[in-house]
Amino acid sequence: MDYARLGRTGLKVSRLCLGTMNFGPLAAEAESFAILDRALELGINFLDTADVYGWRTGEGVTEQIVGRWLAQRAGLREQVVLATKVYGRMGDGPNDRGLSAWHIRRACDESLRRLRTDRIDLYQMHHVDRDTPWDEVWQTMEQLVTAGKVIYVGSSNFAGWHIAQANAVAAERHFLGLVSEQSLYNLTARTVELEVIPACRAHGLGLLPWSPLAGGLLAGALAAAGEGRRASERIRKRVEERRAQLVGSLHALDIVLSPDHRAALDRIWPGPGGEAPEAYAW
């Protein structure tokens, strides 16, 4: 397994991060434990979850499974970089979601309890909260870092300008700010290449792609999907649309240009790689 620094931090994580969203809803606890054990054997030291994961089995269920796995393996917690998220609705009250100081502090304590740990290594904002000022968010995160409950802070599903805005405010407060962004990124979903990835590079964030295989589409898993989330009609319709989009994109790569045509295109626009074939392939 290869390891890389997480963004501009000194923390080294495995290049493969194990996502746990299906633990509980689609994978029973025993199966989830087996997956976690195998990941550890293969050198994966980076686990990602969220407080809302559990879905129809109940929000928080996935964190509980990960917590029980850690608790049953003495000394393992110090070998694992544990990431979770905050934002989603965890109750019926008006303050049971978002990034207010009230919700973040409560959500952090609840995640620590479910995960059976004393700290969250990477605490990610699951979405932007347009109703909460960044000074409030960062003040709360600073308090959690000072208390030793959180080590690093990351984001998920942020736009490029959200990353820039968040880290500008963090810098004014002399706080490290965001060190990672978790975005939808795969061969069928490449919008992040326009602004999010450039923002990550400019501000020193590591990019954590979620759904890198498009929910199984790119691995051929959906063809044999049975019951569960992948089998719903809504999901299947969306998958077929993405499949058609991918096939169309691949067909666009079949063009063959003569040397004269390539030279002419190079004069018009050399593209990101300096040569027309690479530029027009993308």
Q: What's the pLDDT tens digit per position in 6-50?
A: 999 999 999 999 999 999 999 999 999 999 999 999 999 999 999
Are residues 8 and 64 located together in one domain of the fold? yes
Residues 3, 53, 123, 280: which is the catalytic one?
A: 53
Considering 170, 197, 212, which residue would you say is the last residue of a domain?
212
| Residue 276: per-residue pLDDT | 41
Considering 173, 191, 212, which residue would you say is the last residue of a domain?
212
Are residues 136 and 248 located together in one domain of the fold? no
Tell me: pLDDT of 120 over 60.
yes
Are residues 180 and 271 located together in one domain of the fold? no
Q: How many domains would you assign to the chain?
A: 2
Are residues 102 and 64 located together in one domain of the fold? yes
Structure token pair of residue 259: 């040397």
Are residues 199 and 227 located together in one domain of the fold? no
Could you tell me which residues come within 8 angstroms of residue 213 by beta carbon, excluding any fewer than 6 positions away?
186, 219, 221
Are residues 208 and 223 located together in one domain of the fold? no
**In a 3-state reduction of DSSP, which class is residue 119?**
coil
**Higher per-residue confidence, 281 vs 83:** 83
Are residues 122 and 189 located together in one domain of the fold? yes
Are residues 264 and 182 located together in one domain of the fold? no
Structure token pair of residue 184: 């939808």
pTM: predicted TM-score of the whole model, two decimal places: 0.83
Convert the pLDDT of each residue in 151-195 to its tens digit.
999 999 999 999 999 999 999 999 999 999 999 998 888 899 999
| Residue 275: per-residue pLDDT | 46
Containing structural domain, residue 268: 217-282
Rounded Cα distance between 232 and 243, Å, is 16
Are residues 100 and 176 located together in one domain of the fold? yes
Structure token pair of residue 61: 């269920």
What is the domain-level CATH number for residue 142? 3.20.20.100
**Which uninterrupted H or E stretch holds 183?**
strand 178-184
Structure token pair of residue 214: 């498009």
Are residues 77 and 207 located together in one domain of the fold? yes
Rounded Cα distance between 7 and 266, Å, is 34
Are residues 96 and 137 located together in one domain of the fold? yes
Catalytic-residue membership of 53: yes
Are residues 200 and 253 located together in one domain of the fold? no
Considering 180, 212, 244, which residue would you say is the last residue of a domain?
212
